[in-house]
Amino acid sequence: MKKKKNRFLVFCFSFLPGAGEMYLGFMNMGLSLMSSFAVLSMIVGLLDIGALMFIPAIVYVYSFFHANNLGSLSDEEFQALEDRYLFGLDGKEFALLKEYTVGHYRKAAAILLIVLGVVMLWNVAVDYLAMLCGEEFFDEFVYWVNRISEDIPRIIISIAIIWFGIRMIRGKKEELDKKEELDKKEELDKKEELDKKEELDKKEELDKKEEFNKKEDDDRREEADSNIGKE
């Protein structure tokens, strides 16, 4: 049974993303917010793109007010809350996200990780090379290598983002094309069904007409036989 905690301590802990939720006993919620803020901050720091700072800032503000709102709930509302992972990281949603991501972008993610690992090793190797051979000889070389090495991760991430966006657009186009193809197929199936039904109706009408003519011929024959018998 969850118990409400001191509001002042909740307010203090809420300045650290996820800590307020953890203090209130919602470990999964707190872990979601804390890990999201940390990962997003790390990515922004790695890319060194100040314009992206609004993303972790949004998570920070959301976490602050989320923790304080939890602390201000009534006892009944607080007890009814379920401790779940946030941002689609819970149960079936996470399984679907993982299956889609791993299934479609596993190779691209593996290449990205390999390249980033090579860049990190290269930075370390250059530092040791400079120490062994003397900094005067390698000053200019190391400067440009470090400059390029620092820019490579941002270039790679930028290309990956562009590629991911193109894939999303192409995926949407393929989805629309597939839907259009299914609509055309469904329309053709309906038309074929209507033609088949019309053909069956015509055949049924011909059968009825043939049956009517046969019956009419039988009536005439019977009438003719009756007239001959009277004579």
| Residue that the structure tokens 């390249």 belong to | 115
Look at residue 230 in the predicted model and tell me its pLDDT.
Answer: 58
Q: How confident is the model over 145-166, as pLDDT tens digits?
A: 666 666 766 777 777 778 777 8
Average pLDDT over residues 44-71: 83
| In the chain, where the domains are located | 1-89, 90-189
Average pLDDT value for the chain: 76
Distance CA 165, CA 160 (A): 9
SS3 content of the chain, % helix, strand, coil (to 5): 85, 0, 15
Average pLDDT over residues 26-48: 84
Q: Which residues contact 123 (CB under 8 A, 6 or more apart)?
A: 146, 149
pTM to 2 decimals?
A: 0.47
3-state secondary structure of 109: helix
Look at residue 108 in the predicted model and tell me its pLDDT.
Answer: 67
Average pLDDT over residues 123-143: 67
Model confidence band, residue 65 (pLDDT cutoffs 50, 70, 90) = very high
Distance CA 158, CA 151 (A): 11
Model confidence band, residue 133 (pLDDT cutoffs 50, 70, 90) = low
Average pLDDT over residues 200-219: 78
pLDDT-above-70 percentage for the chain? 68
- Nearest CA to 48 out of 149, 162, 117 is that of 149
